[in-house]
Structure 1
Amino acid sequence: MDLESLNILHEICTINGIHYDNLLNDNFLNQSLIILFTNFKKCISLHNFPYLTELIIISQDITQITKLETCPNLKKLWLCECKLNKIENLTSCKQLNELYLYDNFIKKIENLSNNQQIECLWLNNNQISVIEGLNNLKQLKQLNLSGNYINNLNNNLLYNQKLEIFSISGNYLWNPNDISILSKLPCLTTLNINEPEYLKNPLCYHSNLPILLIYRLPQLCKIDHININLIDLKYAIKSIIQELQMFGYLEIQEINNTDDVFTYCNVLLNSRLCNHDMNNSIVNSLKLLHLYKINNRLLLQRIIFILKAENIV
C-alpha cells in the first residue's frame, strides 16, 4: 500500500473510532464505515474490512468507484456529493441492497446487471437524460431520479414491477400521457413529481395534474408526500372526470374551409386566439381529434347538430 493510501486508512480508522492495530486481529468484525468531509481524492482497498456490509462516503473529491472487489458482503453503499461521472466497478457487490449515488455528475444508468438484489436506488441530482439500465433490477422498490435531465418516461420502467416509490421531480417531463406508463406498475403507491425543493417539471404547470394522477393511478396512496389514500376523494374525482368525458368529448374527421363546420370552429378558435393566428391565408383546413369541456351548452348543441347533419359523427 502506498503512503497516501496508508494515510487514508489511518484517517478512516480515526474517524470510525477503530484502533489501527485491531485491523490485524482475526476477530475484527467491523461491518460499517463512515467517511465524511475529508477531501479524499480516491478510494483505497478495504481488504482490512472483509465483513463490511455498509459503506458511507459523503462529500469527497472521488471521481471513480474503485477498490470494492474486496467487499463481497456489502449491502448498503453511499457515494454521495462526490465527483463521480459514471456507475462502474460494482460487479463484485452482488449482495448490494441499497445504492445511493445522489449529487454527482453521472450521465447514464449503467453497469448494474450484476446487482440484481438492489431494492433502493437513489440517483437524484445527477445529469441523467434517459431512463435505462434497470432491466435486471427485478427487486427494485424505490427509485429516485429527481433533479436530472429526463424529458419522458419510457417502457424501461416496466421491468421494475415491484416498484413502490418513484421520485421524478425537477426534470423536464412535459407530456401528460407519460402517466399511463406508471399505471402499469401495480405496486406503485408513492409518486413524487412536484416536490417543493425542485424546479417544476413543465407537466406540473397543468392545474389539473393532481386530479389526473389520482384518476389514472388509482393505486397511489401518496403524491409529493401528501396522503391521498381516501376512498371518497378518489370516487369523487372518478365521477367528475367521467361526467366531463360524457359531456364534451368528440372525435371527428378532417374538415375543409368550405364546410360549415369549419366556419363555426373557426369562430370558436378566433374567440380564443389572436386574429393573426387564425389568418385564412394560413389556416386552410382543420383536423379536430379531440374537443374537451365545452362550457357553452348552446355552442355544444350547435356543433353537434352540424356534425350530425354532415354525417361526421
Structure 2
Amino acid sequence: MRSYHLADGGGLEGLSIREHEDPAPGPGQVLVAVRAASLSYRELLVLRGEYVLPVKPDVVPISDGAGEVVAVGPGVRSARVGDRVMATVFPSWQDGPFGVRHLPQLGGSLDGMLTELAVLGEGALVPVPAHLSFEEAATLPCAAVTAWNALTGDGRGLRPGQTVVVQGSGGVSLFALALAKTLGARVIATTSGPAKAARLAELGADEVVDYRATPDWPGRVLELTGGQGADRVIDVAGLLEQSLRAVILGGHVACVGFVSGSPPPVDPRLLFASGATVRPVAVGSRAQFVAMNRAMEVNRLRPVIDCVFPFDDAAGAYRHYASGQAFGKVVIRL
C-alpha cells in the first residue's frame, strides 16, 4: 500500500509518498480501502504549521475520505466487508458536547485518509448515502458536518421561514446554503464578483450580496430583512463585527473559523447590543453526521465538486485548492 506523509509546517515540500506493508485490523477495528479524499481549509493550516490542534510527526494527512470495507477485526459488529463508509473527523466524538477527550482527530494527531488503506475504529464509521459516489461522499466529514452543526447544533435549530447568511463559496458555505434551503430557510449569500453571484443564485440563494460592489454587506442584509437582520449568520471569515451587525437581536452567529492571519477585534459593546449567541463550531459528532446524512438522502442533495485529481497528483490538488480559485470541493481519487 501507498500513503502520503506530511511534515507539519513543511509546506508541499514536506509532502511525500511511501510504500508500506498492508495493515491488518485489530479488535474493534476495520480496514478501509480509501476510494477518495477531499481537501478543506484545515488541510492548508496543517500544511503551513498553523493548525490549532496537535499534529503528529510524519502524519498521513487529510481528515476527509470515503471508501469500502475490505476486512474487519475481531468483535466488529456494525461493519461488514463491502460496506461503503466515511470516517468521522473526531473518531471518539459520538454524541453530546465536544470535550478534551475528543481532541484526537484524523489528519492531525491521528493518521488521516490520504492513503490506500486505512485502519479505523468501527465507531468512527458512517455509511455513505446510497445516492452518492465515493468522490461525493469524501467531501462530507468536515465541511458538511460543520455546516449542519452551525445550522442545527445550538439546541434550538434552524426553523422554516428563518433567514440565514452564508459567506463566500467555500465548502462550509455551499453546504450551509443547500442544507438551509432543505430546512425551509431563506438564504442570503455574500460573495465577490458577478460570476460567483450567478452560481450561488443557481444553487438556490434567495439573495446574493457582492461585498466588493457593496462593502457594507451587513447594511444590505438589514435592508433585505426589513431592518431586522438575519436569524443566523455562518461566519467562515472571522468577520465577527460585521456578522453581529447583520444578525437579528438575540440571533445566532456560528463562528466556523477565520481566513486572515490577524482577525480584527470585536467591540464588546457590539456583543451586548446584538444580544446574539456567538458559538464556535468545530465539525460535529457522529450523531450529527448521521442526522445530516438522512437529510441529504431524503432530499437527494449532492455536494458541489470543483475538480477531481488523481492520487499520484495530490500535490496538484493542494496547489489548486490553495490558489483560492476552486468553487466547491477539491477531491483526490484513489
TM-score by length of 1: 0.25
TM-score by length of 2: 0.24
Larger RCO of the pair (alpha carbons < 8 Å, separation 6+): 2
Q: Which has the larger radius of gyration?
A: 1
Whose strand fraction is larger, Structure 1's or Structure 2's?
2
